[in-house]
Structure 1
Amino acid sequence: MSKVKKLLKKIRFVTYLNDLRIYYQCLLFPEYMAKRIYIGMCKRIPNFKNPKDINEKINYQKFHYDMKLWANLADKYLVREYVRDRGLENILIPLIAKYYSPEDFINDFDNLPEQFIIKNNNGCGDNIVVKNRDEINKSTLLSQIREWYKVGRFGVLTVEPHYTLIDETIILVEEFLVNTECSINSISKSLIDYKVWCFNGKPYCIFVGYNRNISDGSATFDLYDTSWNRMNKYMVEANPEHAVSSIELPKPQNLDYMLECASILSNGNPQARVDFYNINGHIYFGEMTMTSQGGYMNYLTQEFLLKMGQQFEV
């Protein structure tokens, strides 16, 4: 074996040991590791015992609330039943199929439509967009989906304990949504994601993401109040991939109905973020998030994080 290969093998082994050490630190000392992540992401020392801003309060909730309820809301399959129970089945993205193993999914792959979205019920940002089924390398796709079955790893490393309580990993295949509005397509290369922050069932603000690029993780973001007044002064460019919008987006169709849906779905929770797509005048439910960016949001100013923290008690 050449010296270069030996060195690369040693580096990979050391990296593996370091990843394993961090994993078990998060597993055994979650609150301590949450503080470390918070400091690294937010560049300030948190106060989890007497929380003030929304990040601190989310982390307080992690260690003092019933995480099983949060697990059911974070589970992208079980949350569909929650949406139905709230009388909003009409806003669910049509589900084409579900699978309980990567092999079952691949074996049925050729029977799926030409275009669809693949989701993992237990995770964050794992969506796979299939625009042409016949161009997909099934071997590569199988390897990618098998990574989803490392149960609990995501929730442990981000110290989001409710993800580790999701019982099983399910592969969801949903309908591929297409926006035909020229005015929107001229602004965004991806669907616009409307993330409605709610406190005690009342919508407070709308965090908007668009121009998403799955391959490199880049996106553009903006912030609006519930009357669609822009509040970009509270936005921070936390990393080079996430840009603050330089333009004002058009007010979405059916904004009032979208806010009504957010209120219905978030009711009963001190804080929740409910995500939607607003396509061709139809509202679609995206997901419900109790720990936005794990409770380490660094893309909003500290002033606004404190304003959000003042909207609910823990």
Structure 2
Amino acid sequence: MKNLRQMISETYRETELGYYMLKPFYGLYEHGLKLVPDEFIVKRSFKKHMGYSINLDNPLTLNEKINWLKLYERKALQTKVADKYNVRDYIKKTIGDKYLIPLLFHTKNPKEIRKNSLPNTEFIIKTNHDSSGGIIVRDKSNVKWKKVRKKLKRLMKQNYYYSTREWQYKNIEPRIIVEKLLTYNDGSIPDDFKLHCFNGKVAFVMVDIGRHTDERCRNLYDKDWNLLPCNWGRPNGDDIVRPSNLEEMIMLAEKIARDFTYVRVDFYSVEGNTYFGELTFHHASGFQKFFQEEWDYRFGSQLKIPTAYG
């Protein structure tokens, strides 16, 4: 059952009445967050979500190390490539523009998101500075565009750094992007292949199955496509067939990952073709439990981070 805090948050973010009623209180809350040190927020949030205190002096688990990197590894390049618009230039230079999902429209003004501004095809609307799933449009004539513009206007005003302390989001200039919607031949949304890279090499592949459905699940595989006996955040789904382009995805992910200690490189595999999704530097903000705790330690031992506070 959802707790009161979750209900209030969803009311604020998902309903128009809730947004305007709670906006003054959220404004004060967000202003207060800006005054709180990053380390305090990380320690408090980690204890709340994980159930134990983080050890920043000697982090051992993968979640601990992700939070250590959140606080102490901050590169200008991270801001550029966490931006879902600006990352396109980085991907073009690193692995080639043939792996980019076609960009149909972009703007900094939510008022420009209108039926007549957008193409007669299926697409997804998202902002470049957050982690929301986006708005899927199959038929633009059936969309309540005024409601969409209101939602985007709210998203454009949010800065996710202050609640998560994921530094790369702090200075991204908000923008709305519209991309072609990738689908399988039957019209379903493709699975999401998330390649977690440690020190420039793929450590494991996470596959999100049934995204945008109520039956979403998740499998973890090693590089040889052996299903790992662990769950991270979601239950397992049915074992899926090894993708024909697995080696290509691994090769591309490692080209991208060589610039970072830890990064999650997302791809979609559609009818044998590989498309780049996004880069994530702190999966689930480092606050997601493994169903089997030993795997948090096992993966943590594989990720080598710089000397503490170095």
TM-score bracket, normalised by the shorter chain, equals 0.7 to 0.9
Pairing 1:84-95 to 2, within 5 Å after superposition: 84-95=92-103
3-state DSSP of counterpart to 1:141 = helix
Runs of at least 5 residues in structure 1 that lack an aligned partner in the other structure: 1-8
Partner of 1:163: 169
What CA distance in whole angstroms lies between the structure 2 residues aligned with 1:21 and 1:225?
42
CA RMSD after TM alignment: 2.4
**Letter in structure 2 aligned against 1:24:** G
Out of 219, 222, 227, the position equivalent to 1:222 is 219
Give the aligned length. 288
Q: CA deviation at 1:17?
A: 3.4
Partner of 1:269: 260
Is the 8 Å Cα contact of residues 195 and 206 (structure 1) preserved in structure 2? yes
Q: CA deviation at 1:88?
A: 2.4
3-state DSSP of counterpart to 1:195 = strand
Q: CA deviation at 1:122?
A: 0.4
Q: Which runs of 4+ in 1 moved over 3 A?
A: 12-23, 108-111
TM-score (norm 2): 0.85
- Give a deviation string over 1:256-296, Cα, whole Å, max 9, x none: 00111111111121111100000000000000110110111
Out of 129, 143, 151, the position equivalent to 2:150 is 143
- Give a deviation string over 1:223-276, Cα, whole Å, max 9, x none: 111111001x2215x4xxx4322x211111211001111111111211111000
Out of 50, 53, 57, the position equivalent to 2:61 is 53
Runs of at least 5 residues in structure 2 that lack an aligned partner in the other structure: 1-16
Q: CA deviation at 1:26?
A: 5.8
**Letter in structure 1 aligned against 2:293:** Q
Out of 241, 246, 252, the position equivalent to 1:250 is 241
What CA distance in whole angstroms lies between the structure 1 residues aligned with 2:22 and 2:97?
49
Pairing 1:59-208 to 2, within 5 Å after superposition: 59-106=67-114, 109-152=116-159, 154-166=160-172, 168-180=173-185, 189-208=188-207
Is the 8 Å Cα contact of residues 41 and 297 (structure 1) preserved in structure 2? yes
- Give a deviation string over 1:1-46, Cα, whole Å, max 9, x none: xxxxxxxx9xx97896377336623652221111121112112211
**Letter in structure 1 aligned against 2:137:** V
Out of 48, 51, 56, the position equivalent to 1:40 is 48
Q: Do the aligned partners of residues 127 and 15 (structure 1) sit closer, same or farther apart at CA in structure 2, a change above 3 Å counting?
A: closer
Is the 8 Å Cα contact of residues 262 and 281 (structure 2) preserved in structure 1? yes
Is the 8 Å Cα contact of residues 127 and 156 (structure 2) preserved in structure 1? no
TM-score (norm 1): 0.84
